[in-house]
Structure 1
């Protein structure tokens, strides 16, 4: 049986000053990676926060029902954090598996999926949902990172309302537990740099080898 995640109770959310481990600070210059759709019906820029939602993503902070909410943007990225030291455990691998997990088919051209790697321009403060005990103290469970996404989004809205100055949350990837996924919210907009370190479409020839190796390891199909 999968672990159960109850609805959030804001009254149980602790004062973050009680335990410094609950907030993880990413120093300026931390490398993050994301894959976004640069084409198709809803093209985005690498640094663009999505303000329409919530959709099916885990930590969308927008209120229900789905709509455009200017001050509730979200941008998802992965953090290079693994003890494995292998390319299959890289932030790029985590991005690839997260983005295409619903079909397990990596479509390298449809929607012009593009990899962006960037470094934050200032320190960012993120609520740590995986490597601290905040979620337990707040009355939840580790299922916030792997369970019902609708319930996780309710937690995201409650966290955003309770701690409005946080830049977002960091959690374990639901597909690569050693990886860390970052959901940045509107306060983090000024933490993004003017330009990314790398900006590569997935159909570039130089990415073929690494994409094929990642897909083969995890049973994904590449088209």
Structure 2
């Protein structure tokens, strides 16, 4: 069970050794699946100000529109982006909402707090938590995200392990808004023939269905 986070003051006092912060290279592509039609859509580079909803949303309570706060989620591999986007139904619906797979390279390295231990650090354990942070109820991980955001104004977001595909994922705060490129590296609808093989392979590996 994931305990509540320490106070903001306690997190600041604990500091951030170098092995607990990942410098995400500007050369690495980050992938996202996003709907392009229907309600509540955002552009590929849009940071969501409404929340909290998802795991590391750092928006204040109560849930609602919070100008000045923004969150953007991505994955290191297309499979991870597909796994997260269709986790509820486990059906990769290539048509509803006209979803796109978009890959981007940030224009500068991102400083990300490594809560998964991918870089060898043990931040989450050292400050009194545990690796249930990747899978605990959202209300608890959001509490951690709010505290992290306020305690460490010099980080751009959080690096964590995807709950469904197991790969590296990132949640970027509004501080990373200046790092988005003017155009994505690749952006195609999931119905595009060029994505057929990748989508089918990801679905097979995840045990999802393609519709």
Task: Measure how far apart 1:17 and its partner are.
Answer: 5.0
Deviations 1:132-165 (A, max 9, x none): 2111111110000122221001100010011122
1:27 and 1:16 mapped to 2: Cα distance?
A: 26
1:114–1:201: 8 Å Cα contact kept in structure 2? yes
Describe the SS at the equivalent of 1:108: coil
Map of 1:39-78 to 2, 5 A cutoff?
39-55=37-53, 57-78=54-75
2:109 and 2:183 mapped to 1: Cα distance?
A: 17
Moved over 3 A (4+): 14-18
- CA RMSD, 1 decimal: 1.4
1:215 and 1:24 mapped to 2: Cα distance?
A: 29
Structure 1: unaligned runs, 5 residues or longer: 80-90
2:102 and 2:27 mapped to 1: Cα distance?
A: 15
Map of 1:107-186 to 2, 5 A cutoff?
107-131=93-117, 132-177=121-166, 179-186=167-174
Instruction: Report the number of matched residues.
Output: 207
User: Partner of 1:210 in structure 2?
Assistant: 198
2:10 and 2:137 mapped to 1: Cα distance?
A: 21
Task: Measure how far apart 1:104 and its partner are.
Answer: 0.4
1:207 and 1:18 mapped to 2: Cα distance?
A: 40
Pick one of 64, 76, 98 that aligns with 2:84.
98
- TM-score of the aligned structures, taking structure 1 as reference length: 0.88
Structure 2: unaligned runs, 5 residues or longer: none
2:12–2:152: 8 Å Cα contact kept in structure 1? no
1:16–1:23: 8 Å Cα contact kept in structure 2? no
1:12–1:139: 8 Å Cα contact kept in structure 2? no
1:15 and 1:125 mapped to 2: Cα distance?
A: 19
2:50–2:64: 8 Å Cα contact kept in structure 1? yes
Task: Measure how far apart 1:15 and its partner are.
Answer: 4.4
Deviations 1:6-52 (A, max 9, x none): 11112432547551111111122221111111111122111000000
